[in-house]
Amino acid sequence: MMETLQAIEASAFSMFVKESSTLYTATLAFHTIGLAFLVGISVATSFRILGVARSLPLAPMEDFFPLMYVGFWINALTGVVLLSLYPTDYLTDGTMYIKLGAIAAAIATLRTLRAHVFGGGVGLGTEAGARRARRLASALLFVWLVAIVAGRVTAYTLPTKLQTAAAVLVFGAVVLSIGYGAARGLGWIGSSQQGA
């Protein structure tokens, strides 16, 4: 296994990208642009389902899904290129598997959410259906956060990774508590009205 990873790391393609700082940094930058499209539009859709912008019709949000998929494929492609540069580091690091697992969970949740909310609007008319949509949207936000945290801490030591994850959890809990109250007070969020 390690021999295969070493062979990939020493391959002509891997060396070519590593030696071209422009190509390497552009790949990293496009990985972040893909993330902004994929996760950003997921977040906008999830927020709408959770009750933000409740007078906004939900059905047209589906028209943004193709751009999300463009973001996904940009990241899949740039991600494979980045993995091929230092596979002996990345693929022997448990954090990378948490990131990949979170991405897989996010894509599965996104597909389930799309089928539930936009696939003919099944169940949206009922309170149980709306509740399931909110649960899926919350789960989607959570797994994207896990993917972002795992992606960002890859370069750090294990104690720093764990401390950062704990700090994100504490910070997230505090911000969510204060932010939820403030957002309700300001009318940015309200009782979910699916309106598909």
- Cβ closer to another protein: 5 or 42? 42
Interaxial angle between packed helices 65-85 and 94-117, expressed in degrees from 0 to 180 and rounded to the nearest 10? 170
- Cβ closer to another protein: 8 or 50? 50
In the shown chain, the binding pattern of residues 25 to 44 toward another protein, with x for contact by CB under 8 A and - for none, equals x--xxxxxx-xxx-xxxxxx
Q: What is the per-residue burial (b if ≥16 Cβ within 10 Å, else e) of 26-56?
A: ebeeebeebbebbbebbbebbbbbbbbebee
- Cβ closer to another protein: 5 or 78? 78
- Cβ closer to another protein: 56 or 80? 56
Contact between 53 and another protein per CB under 8 A: yes
Contact between 134 and another protein per CB under 8 A: no
Interaxial angle between packed helices 21-49 and 65-85, expressed in degrees from 0 to 180 and rounded to the nearest 10? 140
Contacts of 194 (CB under 8 A, 6+ apart): 49, 58, 117, 124, 125, 130, 133
Listing DSSP states for 51-71 in one string gives TBTTTS-SGGGGGGHHHHHHH
State which of positions 58-97 bind another protein (CB under 8 A).
59-61, 63-64, 67
Q: What is the per-residue burial (b if ≥16 Cβ within 10 Å, else e) of 155-166?
A: eeeeeebeeebe
Contact between 54 and another protein per CB under 8 A: yes
Q: Distance between CA atoms of 160 and 96, rounded to whole angstroms?
A: 15
- Cβ closer to another protein: 5 or 146? 146
State which of positions 144-183 bind another protein (CB under 8 A).
144-145, 148-149, 151-153, 156, 159-161, 163-164, 166-168, 171, 179
User: Shortest approach of another protein to residue 3 CB, angstroms?
Assistant: 31
Residues that bind another protein (CB under 8 A): 21, 25, 28-33, 35-37, 39-44, 47-48, 52-57, 59-61, 63-64, 67, 144-145, 148-149, 151-153, 156, 159-161, 163-164, 166-168, 171, 179, 186, 188
